[in-house]
Chain A
Amino acid sequence: MRRCPDSIDSRVHRIFDRLRRRWPGQGRWNDSFDRLVTGGMELQAPLAGLGGLLGRLQACRRRGQRAAAGQLLGRLGAELDVLALRLSSGRALLGQVRYSGPPSLWRLWGEVVESVEAYGLRLSADSQTLIATTEPITLSDEEFSEELGPMEIRIPIESFGGPGRSFTIVAVEPNECDGYIHPHVASDGRLCEGEATVPLNHAWRAGMLAEVLHILDATLRTYNPHSAYERLDRWGGGAGRPSCYDCGYSMPEDEGYGCEICQETFCSACSHYSEALAMSLCDRCGVRVQTAAGPDYVDHDSARQCDGCEDLWFNEDLQEGLCPACWAESFLCTHCGQRRCAHEQSATEGLCLSCQAAPVIAEGPAVPAAPAVPISAE
């Protein structure tokens, strides 16, 4: 016997019926509601006090007791202040009242209709799982674009709306890379939700099925290169290509550069050729320095700070610890004999700052003391 084709209307009815049974009980109000309706505002006492005061004020008016009325008016003001405070607290409490639980039936119906229309929502053969299908998904970044095809979002009915989210993503036309169907879907089909976590949590617990699907659809259509199980550039045959050890970029075979210190392979952006040493270096093993020929990269052991200007230099281009520019302006201290940078020259010509500051300078340049010659008795 031929089965009647699954019309949209009958599908909506069947899914609605299954979901409606998912929430057999009533929802519940939160604690604020309970406090509000069980006297949380504590209005009875001040209201009773006010009633009594007003009665006594009327009596004072009848009897013409002005002084007593004045006292009572003072107490009335205090009671009104208390009442105003309680009413203000009650208003705040009212704002905190929440109802959590199943969506209303008409709202649930709307969610199912929207989900069926937008994502072809259907029930699995055993009627235990909701299956929504996205339009084909294409992810792109600056250089790569990859068609990953439509994705199915599978939600076990028993878990929907409950405390733990449980759904899986399945590729309809798998275009896998190392076992991954999508950069943000684990190999077991779980989506790593990232920014979607909070809105998904809200929508899931509120039973807003269509919103859950909208959020998941938007997440599946967004590529975050900084946190992917497998980077997009690894799809489309990229899986067999070498990837940069530093940034993970998947390179054509002939584009990798090996660092001669750590022996790993790097892309052009993460690698540097050292003219001074005639070798490739990565960012970690190399350091940018000045050389006599211009800026360059060398390994850390070949870099040294100039004693004069403190710039980092290729050590083979330093003379007595000074770069060529500092060397050209340097001088030999006539006192200590050390080569000094120009900025270390003192006001006293020929002396470095250290020697000028030393007490011995006052007596003139230091000259090796001649050994005392004993005076002959002759």
Chain B
Amino acid sequence: MSKILFVNNDGAGFAETLELAEGETIGELFGRMVCGSAGDYRIKVNGQIVPRDYSLQAGDKVSVTPTKIEGAR
């Protein structure tokens, strides 16, 4: 099985090594791992924006960061 590093910068989630399904795309992985709309996140694979149907490869680093994170004072 292929493994990737999945970095979830939403709330308390963070990096974990995941096993990929055969031919799994970034869109499918997002649907499997994150509750929410893809439009609310900056999704990068190896630091690059990729199309939704990008097929993930072993060793990829997937990073999901909310576009809005509220600071305080």
Where the two chains meet, the residues of A that have a C-beta atom closer than 8 Å to any C-beta of B are 107, 110, 113-114, 117-118, 183-184, 186, 191-196, 198-199, 202-203, 206, 208, 210-211, 214-215, 218-222, 224, 227-229
Q: How far is the CA of A211 from the CA of B61 in the complex (A)?
A: 11
B65 touches A214 (CB 8 A): yes
Q: How far is the CA of A122 from the CA of B8 in the complex (A)?
A: 26
A197: nearest chain-B partner, CB-CB: B72
Report A-chain residues with C-beta under 8 Å of the C-beta of B11.
Answer: 195, 198-199
13 more A-B contacts (CB under 8 A) besides A184-B73, A198-B12, A222-B71? A107-B61, A118-B47, A183-B71, A184-B71, A195-B70, A198-B11, A206-B15, A211-B63, A211-B65, A214-B63, A215-B9, A221-B67, A222-B67
| A and B contact pairs by CB, cutoff 8 A, 6 listed | A192-B73, A199-B10, A211-B65, A214-B63, A222-B67, A222-B68
A193: nearest chain-B partner, CB-CB: B71
Interface string of B33-73 (1 = CB under 8 A from A): 00000000010101100000000000001010111111111
Q: How far is the CA of A218 from the CA of B13 in the complex (A)?
A: 16
Report A-chain residues with C-beta under 8 Å of the C-beta of B47.
Answer: 110, 113-114, 117-118, 210
A218 touches B61 (CB 8 A): no
B69 touches A195 (CB 8 A): yes
Report B-chain residues with C-beta under 8 Å of the C-beta of A221.
Answer: 67-68
Report A-chain residues with C-beta under 8 Å of the C-beta of B66.
Answer: 218
Interface string of B20-35 (1 = CB under 8 A from A): 0000000000000000
Ranked nearest first, the 10 interchain pairs of A and B with the lowest CB-CB distance are A184-B71, A114-B47, A194-B72, A202-B14, A224-B70, A227-B72, A194-B71, A222-B68, A214-B65, A199-B9
Contact of A228 among B13, B46, B63, B73 (CB under 8 A): B73
Q: How many A-B residue pairs lie within 8 Å, measured between CB atoms?
A: 92
- B interface residues, how many (CB within 8 angstroms): 24
Asked if B4 is an interface residue, CB under 8 A from chain A, the answer is no
B73 touches A222 (CB 8 A): no
Report A-chain residues with C-beta under 8 Å of the C-beta of B71.
Answer: 183-184, 191-196, 219-220, 222, 224, 227
B61 touches A214 (CB 8 A): no
B14 touches A229 (CB 8 A): no
B63 touches A196 (CB 8 A): no
Report B-chain residues with C-beta under 8 Å of the C-beta of A184.
Answer: 71-73
A229 touches B12 (CB 8 A): no
A224: nearest chain-B partner, CB-CB: B70
